[in-house]
Structure 1
Amino acid sequence: MQHHFHPTVLREYDIRGIIGETLGAEDARAIGRAFGTLLREAGGQTVAVGYDGRVSSPMLEHALVEGVTASGCDVVRIGMSATPMLYYAEASAEQVDGGIQITGSHNPPNYNGFKMVFLGRPFFGADIQKLGKLAADGAFASGAGQVTTRDIMGEYVERLLEGLTGIDPAKLEGLRVGWDAGNGAAGPALEALAARLPGEHHLLFTEVDGHFPNHHPDPTVEANLADLRALVADKQLDFGVAFDGDGDRIGAIDGTGRVIWGDQLLMIYAEDLLKNRPGSTIIADVKASRALFDRVAELGGKPLMWKTGHSLIKSKMKETGAPLAGEMSGHVFFADEYYGFDDALYAGVRLLAAAARLGKSVTELRGAIPPMLNTPELRFQVDESRKFAAMEEIAGRLTTAPGPDVESVNATDGVRVNTADGWWLLRASNTQDVLVARAESETPEGLERLLAQIDAQLALSGLERGESVAH
Structure 2
Amino acid sequence: MSHRIDPTILREYDIRGVVGETLGPDDARAIGRSFGTLVRRCGGRKVAVGRDGRTSSPMLEAALVEGLVGSGADVVQIGLGPTPMLYFAEATGADIDAGIQITGSHNPPGHNGFKMVLAGKPFFGADIARLGAMAQAGDWDEGAGSVELREVLDAYVARIVEGLGEVPREALSALRIGWDAGNGAAGLALEKLAARLPGQHFLLFTAVDGTFPNHHPDPTEEANLADLKALVAAEGLDFGIAFDGDADRIGVVDGMGRTIWGDQLLMIFAEDLLRMVPGATVIADVKASQALFDAIAGHGGEPLMWKTGHSLMKAKMAETGAPLAGEMSGHVFFAHDFYGYDDALYAAVRLMAASVRLGRSITELRGAMPELLNTPELRFHVDETRKFAAVEEVRRRLAEAGADFVAIDGVRVRTPDGWWLLRASNTQDVLVARAESGTAQGLERLIAEVDAQLAMSGLSRGN
CA contact (8 A) 2:7 2:132 kept: no
Where does residue 222 of structure 1 map in the other structure? 222
Checking the alignment, whether the CA contact within 8 Å between 2:284 and 2:327 is kept in structure 1 is yes
User: 2:46 matched to 1:50?
Assistant: no
Partner of 1:401: 401
1:434 paired to 2:430 = yes
Aligned ranges for residues 155-170 of structure 1 at < 5 Å? Answer: 155-170=155-170
Match of 2:442 in 1: 446
Measure, in 2, the Cα distance between the counterparts of 1:2 and 1:32.
12
- How far apart are the structure 2 equivalents of 1:331 and 1:207? 23
Correspondence for 1:66 = 66
The residue number in structure 2 matching 1:178 is: 178
Q: Which residue of 1 aligns with 2:415?
A: 419
Matched, 1:17 2:17: yes
Query: Which residue of 2 is the match for residue 321 of structure 1?
Result: 321
Map Cα deviations across residues 162-192 of structure 1 (whole Å, 9 max, x no partner): 1112111111011000000000000100000
- The offset of 1:94, in angstroms, is 1.4
The equivalent residue for 2:238 is: 238
- 8 A Cα contact 1:381 1:466, kept in partner: no
> What one-letter code is carried by the residue in structure 1 that aligns with 2:264?
Q
In the aligned structure 2, how far is the partner of 1:285 from the partner of 1:91? 25
Asked if the contact 2:101/2:114 (under 8 Å) is kept, the reply is yes
- CA distance in 2: counterparts of 1:362 and 1:55, whole angstroms: 36
Aligned positions of 1:264-283 closer than 5 A: 264-283=264-283
- Structure 1 position 298 matched with structure 2 position 294: no
Residues 1:133 and 2:133 are matched in the alignment: yes
Alignment of 1:353-372 (within 5 A): 353-372=353-372
Structure 2: distance between partners of 1:160 and 1:256: 27
**Is the contact made by 1:280 and 1:323 (CA closer than 8 Å) also made in structure 2?**
yes
The alpha-carbon deviation at position 401 of structure 1 amounts to 1.5
Partners of 2:302 and 2:400 in 1: how far apart?
Answer: 29
Alignment match, 2:145: 145
Distance 1:368 1:33 in 2: 52
Runs of 4+ in 1 over 2 A off after TM superposition: none
- Summarize the alignment of residues 194-213 of structure 1 with structure 2, pairs less than 5 Å apart: 194-213=194-213
* Matched-pair contact (CA < 8 Å) for 2:251–2:260: yes
1:400, CA displacement in angstroms? 2.1
Cα deviation for residue 265 of structure 1 reads: 0.4
SS at 1:8's partner residue? helix
Matched with 2:334 is: 334
> Residue 29 of structure 1 aligns to which amino acid in structure 2?
R
For residue 254 of structure 1, report the CA deviation from its aligned partner: 0.3
The secondary structure found in structure 2 opposite 1:246 is coil
CA distance in 2, matches of 1:42, 1:361: 48
Whether contact under 8 Å (1:421, 1:447) holds in the other structure is: yes
What secondary structure is seen at the aligned counterpart in 2 of 1:114?
Answer: strand
Alignment match, 2:452: 456
The normalised TM-score by structure 1 is: 0.98
Matches within 5 A, 1:73-92: 73-92=73-92
- Give the deviation of 1:260 after TM superposition: 0.4
Match of 1:188 in 2: 188
Mapped partners of 1:400, 1:99: distance in 2: 46
Please say if residues 13 and 125 of structure 2, whose CA atoms lie closer than 8 Å, have aligned partners that are also in contact. yes
Q: Is the 8 A contact 1:85 1:156 kept in 2?
A: yes
Q: Which residue of 1 aligns with 2:124?
A: 124
1:7 offset after TM fit, Å? Answer: 2.3
Counterpart code for 1:353: A
| Contact 2:186 2:245 survives alignment (8 Å) | yes
Residue-by-residue CA offset, 1:182-231 (whole Å, 9 max, x unaligned): 00000100000000000000000000000000000000110100000000
The answer on whether the counterparts of 1:266 and 1:326 sit within 8 Å (CA) in structure 2 is yes
TM-score by length of 2: 0.99
Contact 2:424 2:431 in 1 (8 A): yes
Q: Distance in 2 between matches of 1:337 and 1:111?
A: 34
Shift of 1:389: 0.7
2:97 aligned partner: 97
The residue identity in structure 2 corresponding to 1:318 is A
Once the two structures are superposed, residues 306-330 of structure 1 have per-residue CA deviations (whole angstroms, 9 ceiling, x without a partner) of 0000000000000000000000000
CA deviation after TM superposition for structure 1 residue 412, in Å: 0.1
Match of 2:30 in 1: 30
* Percent of aligned pairs with the same amino acid: 70
Structure 2: distance between partners of 1:164 and 1:108: 33
Deviation at 1:420, TM superposition (A): 0.4
Q: Could you tell me how far apart the structure 1 residues matched to 2:335 and 2:80 are?
A: 25
Task: Determine if contact 1:458/1:464 at 8 Å carries over to the other structure.
Answer: yes
- CA-atom RMSD in angstroms: 0.6
Partner Cα separation in structure 2 for residue 439 and residue 145 of structure 1 = 52
Query: In 1, are the aligned partners of 2:73 and 2:146 still within 8 Å (CA)?
Result: yes
* 2:335–2:341 Cα contact (<8 Å) kept: yes
- Specify the SS of the correspondent of 2:9: coil
